[in-house]
Structure 1
Amino acid sequence: MPAYPRLLFAAAQPDICKTELTCAFLQAAADRGLLPTAFQCGAGCGSSALHQQIPGVKSRCLDHFLTTEETMQSLLYADASNSQLAVLEGGSGFFDGAAGSDLSSAWDIASITRTPVVLLLRPQESALTLSAQVQGLLHFRPKSGIQALLLYSCCAAQYQVLATVLERETGLPCAGYLPKAEGSTSQDRIQVLVQQLERTANMTLLLQIAQSAEPLSPALLPSQPVTQQAPRIAVAQDDAFCCRFAENLELLEHLGAVLIPFSPLADSVLPPCEALYLGGTLPEQYADALSRNISMRESIRRVVLDGLPTLAEDGGFLYLGQSIENRSGTSRAMCGVLPGRSFRGKRPQGGCTRLTVWQDNFLCGKGTHLRVFTAPGQDTDARGADLLFHTENGSQWACGFAHGSVFASFARLYFLSEPVLAVNFVQAAAKRIRR
């Protein structure tokens, strides 16, 4: 069982810049010669996108709704041979998870992966009240995993007073403090925090806590190639198409696919391929540029209508439609494969949800049940009805075109939840070679 240094940053209050601090720690660790990997607790892609702006850093998802305890442990175990440090970023709050439960909360992920927790605190006037809040977090659930406290938006004078009381009343060490980061962009604030971590935080203690993590138990992820033909899957990858699970791409490669990145914004045509993957995004931000690239839109339209296996998630789903409203409310033409015209309406409730597939398609059969993630964003006047979404509050709504060679909807699939989806994707692509 390999020892894999790791720690999880969790916030006691919602207004702490947890993602920027996590990125700063990743950069500070890299500056010390370590090779870190990031993990986001929860299925959104915002934090992962920032993590991966740190040079050389990969970011993955750990979500207990989408997948099992064994799969999450396997993700960490598989990463241990390629990284020297795992940095996990907890979700909002310490115990807050899906649908008012602690499922997939920072505490839940830390418990499952046996990862030490560093609790981020914003100082307040009463040190004793703050200590009582920490004591509540320590004992609200068994084995909180909290190993140290790190104060954010704090000055040296505050820290001297608070640290003494917090350590006395909670029994936890304080690992320093960080002033509130100033800067006009996330990157500016991250760079400020990198410098502050070395000046006013105890990086040595934080890394020692990471080193104290228990060894990981081996477990296997599905990775045997299902074809020797190396089918090419074109993957949309630019500023307009930047939200997808990195684990999905890795699994497709392990199963024998060759991934061909391309840019619907900048490239003139779709590269030669046997399948197409259009990941999630917020396309209204780039509607004008996507619409101007007529040759790309037409090349995608031709091959999808010709039966190219196509997975289109979230913004990719809207991109295959007739039009997308830009930020000014003007409709811009898109690929025209599907009937919908998207608009700035409120789509149904987002987050982790379940769906039932109503039609046979290249990824799965009729009656398949999946766990997926949906994000907020534009709606469409032709959602389709091949998928039935079941929300945690008991409501249901239909959406999606999932028949034949197309699977397109607001859902972001997580292949490690149902690896057979990735197997079928690669095999469908391989069949195009044999045509």
Structure 2
Amino acid sequence: MATCAALMVASPASGQGKTTVVAALARLLTRRGIAVRVFKSGPDFLDPFWHELASGQPVDNLDAWMGGEADVSLRLHAAARQAQVLLVEGVMGLHDGTPSNADLARRCGLPVLAVVQAGAMAQTLGAVAHGLRRYREAEAGPLPWAGVLANGVAGGGHARLLREALSPGDTWLGALPHDEAMRLPERHLGLVAAQELGRAQALARLDAAADALAATPLGQLSIDDWRARWARDFAAPAPVPPAPAPLLAGRTVAVARDAAFAFIYPANLHALQALGARLVFFSPLAGESLPACDALWLPGGYPELHAPALAARTDLAMQLHRHAQAGKPVWAEGGGLLALCESLRTRGGETWPMWGLLPAQGQMQARLAGLGMQTWEGAHAGAGLRGHAFHFAQVQTAIAPLAHTRAAPGSARAQGEAIHAAPDQPAVRASFFHPWFASDPLATAGLFGAAGQGAAQ
């Protein structure tokens, strides 16, 4: 058992300011010398960049469907043994999804801090807080509750109206003003990654938000106050899931990692290492060559923002073709899929040659093209790889997909994602699907060419 103060930061919907509040809170506590670990609920690659900068610690995802309840318990228990405060940023709205953030809060005993964008409301905040706290209470039980933080507030008078609208038990924890100095910039897939702004500028935004939060009742709490209000016990799951067999022992997996290929769950790196793989990293944008390796992983990211630089890497394209022609596996997801196409058309209408391992053309578009939790059920694997898709791009190809993922029950969109494979290079697999590798170690090992493990079909 490990005991630690903890909060889940949730909202009625996306766009309310959860990420800013979590990052500001992590930054404020870290500046005070308090050890903080931050988690992101659900699939997300971008928000964790800000939380890692704010806390100075790695950030993992928690998802009871994608990773499983035992995985969630293990991560919280391990973090609680090292940190003084745990922060969990929710995804979408508090009660959205199956399981929802509220389900996770109840299951793990996480008190909920409700961040509400209140710039255009007054007394209605009381109704919103009442509903967030008590929705499904009769069937699911009381929701652990910390309080309400109003965001985007116009001034002191507005804050008083909001505070007076709350029932006493809903607990006012303060108001944050609308301030461009602490706004985290966004683009089509979500927040701009913290490292893209540069460390100094990104920290300046976090410090501005932390300074504003320091003036609120929440920001004025000491670590003793945190422990008195929100200390929770986090037990390790029993039994602990067994470690996977080292099916990738002796194999080297090269991983592209830079601004064009940045969407990497830390848990996926750990899953490959747990399977015995040796990982080597390289940056296509920095002009680095493909390292000597047995398999290649091209993660998601923003190849469309770096299309001219990637198009210029004809040397790397040749190296990738030689790698594939030697029968060595390639797994490309999201932006990695687009980089393997013959061409990529950007949202600005420019078309750039890509690396051409797949006979396909990628095209960015203004509208969302794919969203939702997915399962890729391989021919040899039992449970199947679980993960998600979220993209504003399409690919056009005459080649029939090798397979399709299956949308999870209750997913926002019903269709699955195509798994593409080049007909003359069967070890090359690519999709808009982003898997959670630990959800099916056998399928993951097969994807990266483990001996005796045919790649998932």
Q: TM-score interval w.r.t. the shorter chain?
A: 0.7 to 0.9
Q: Which of 205, 214, 219 does residue 232 from structure 2 map onto?
A: 214
**Aligned residue for 2:325?**
305
Asked if the contact 2:37–2:86 (Cα under 8 Å) also holds between the matched residues in 1, the reply is yes
What is the aligned partner in structure 2 of residue 406 from structure 1?
428
- Could you say which residue in structure 2 is the equivalent of 1:137? 132
Distance 1:172 1:209 in 2: 17
Query: Aligned letter for 1:381?
Result: Q
Distance verdict in 2 for CA 1:123–1:410, change over 3 Å:
closer
Alignment of 1:280-359 (within 5 A): 280-345=300-365, 348-357=369-378
1:333–1:44 CA distance, 2 compared to 1 (3 A):
same
Cα separation, 2, equivalents of 1:18 and 1:320? 35
What aligned pairs does 1:24-423 form with structure 2 within 5 A after superposition? 24-54=24-54, 56-97=56-97, 103-123=98-118, 128-141=123-136, 142-154=141-153, 155-166=155-166, 169-183=167-181, 186=185, 187=202, 188-205=204-221, 208-209=225-226, 212-219=230-237, 220-223=240-243, 226=246, 229-345=249-365, 348-357=369-378, 369-382=384-397, 384-391=400-407, 392=411, 394-395=414-415, 398-401=418-421, 404-423=426-445
CA RMSD of aligned residues (A): 3.0
Cα offset for 1:85? 2.6
Distance in 1, matches of 2:342 and 2:121, equals 57
CA distance in 2, matches of 1:257, 1:44: 24
1:424 is displaced (CA, Å) by 4.1
Matched to 1:193, the amino acid is: A
**C-alpha displacement at 1:94, in angstroms?**
1.4
Does the residue aligned with 1:324 lie in a helix, a strand or coil?
Answer: strand
Q: 5+ unaligned residues in a row in structure 1: which ranges?
A: 98-102
Identity rate, percent: 27
Separation (CA, whole Å) in 2 of partners of 1:390 and 1:229: 30
Opposite residue 301 of structure 1, the aligned amino acid is H
Aligned residues between the structures:
418
Q: Tell me by how many angstroms 1:51 deviates.
A: 2.2
* Structure 2 CA distance for partners of 1:407 and 1:399, relative to 1, 3 Å: closer
Relative to structure 1, the CA distance from residue 236 to residue 178 in structure 2 (aligned partners, 3 Å threshold; closer, same or farther) is same
The alignment partner of 1:267 has SS state of coil
Instruction: Report if the CA contact (8 A) 1:16-1:122 is conserved.
Output: yes
Measured against aligned partners, the alpha-carbon deviations of 1:291-344 in whole angstroms (never above 9, x if no partner) come to 112222221221122122222111111212212123432222222211111123
Change (3 A) 1:140 1:334: same
More deviation in 415-424 or 206-215? 206-215
- 1:100 corresponding residue in structure 2: none
CA contact (8 A) 1:116 1:145 kept: yes
Return the alpha-carbon distance in structure 2 between the equivalents of residues 428 and 60 of structure 1. Answer: 26
What is the letter of the counterpart of residue 44 of structure 1? Answer: D
Measured in 2, the distance between the counterparts of 1:425 and 1:381 equals 23
Conservation of the 8 A alpha-carbon contact between 1:278 and 1:312: yes
